[in-house]
Amino acid sequence: MRENYIYIYNNLINCTRNKDLYKNLNRDDNFSDRLTLFLLHFAFFLKNFKNEENKDILQDIYDYNFRQLELSIREIGYGDQSINKKMKDYINLFHSMVSEIHFWDNLQNPEKIKKISMFLSDFKNTDDLLIYFNNFNDNLSKKTLNFYLKSVSNP
């Protein structure tokens, strides 16, 4: 089943490559911006499919995605010591994202904008990001985890 996790990873990477996400960035995007958006997409993904039935699969997907991220950081040229520190930082960032969006569906738009702004502070128009992530969250909720395990399509 692990070979199917590449579909999810690639879907999330494709979402992160959406040029419209970067149009309100106050500067040129960089690896850190793309990684932050990837982690935010992944947090929404886990939020939508988290249940007792999916627990083991989601843990495997989590492990797979963070292994892939570590490989990407290595490809950039960071040394072993730097990678360990970077991965710890990214994992902590991810877990804070998961905590902040846990009750996304119950929040009002101003609260959602504050949550997005916590992680994407260099983006000037967070209203566009709010619309995007509301739609992304809605699209995820309309499909099953199995759909993402078996297909390569934008979530």
Q: Which two tokens stand for residue 139?
A: 């699209």
Total domains present in the chain: 1
- Do residues 155 and 45 lie in contact, with contact meaning Cβ atoms separated by under 8 Å? yes
Residue 69 within a domain:
yes
**Which pLDDT value is given to residue 43?**
98
- Do residues 83 and 73 lie in contact, with contact meaning Cβ atoms separated by under 8 Å? yes
Angle between helices 55-76 and 31-49 (to 10 degrees): 170
How far apart (Å, rounded) are the C-alpha atoms in residues 118 and 66? 22
Residue 20 within a domain:
yes
**Which pLDDT value is given to residue 146?**
87
Residue 155 within a domain:
no
Residue 142 within a domain:
yes
Structural domain that includes position 105:
2-150
pLDDT values of the chain reduced to their tens digit, one per residue, 155 residues:
467 788 899 999 999 999 989 988 878 888 888 999 999 999 999 999 999 999 999 999 999 999 999 988 888 887 777 888 888 999 999 999 999 999 999 999 999 999 999 999 888 888 999 999 999 999 999 999 988 887 655 55
Q: Which two tokens stand for residue 39?
A: 């982690």
The answer for 51, left when phi > 0, alpha when psi is -120 to 50, beta otherwise, is beta
**Which pLDDT value is given to residue 151?**
63
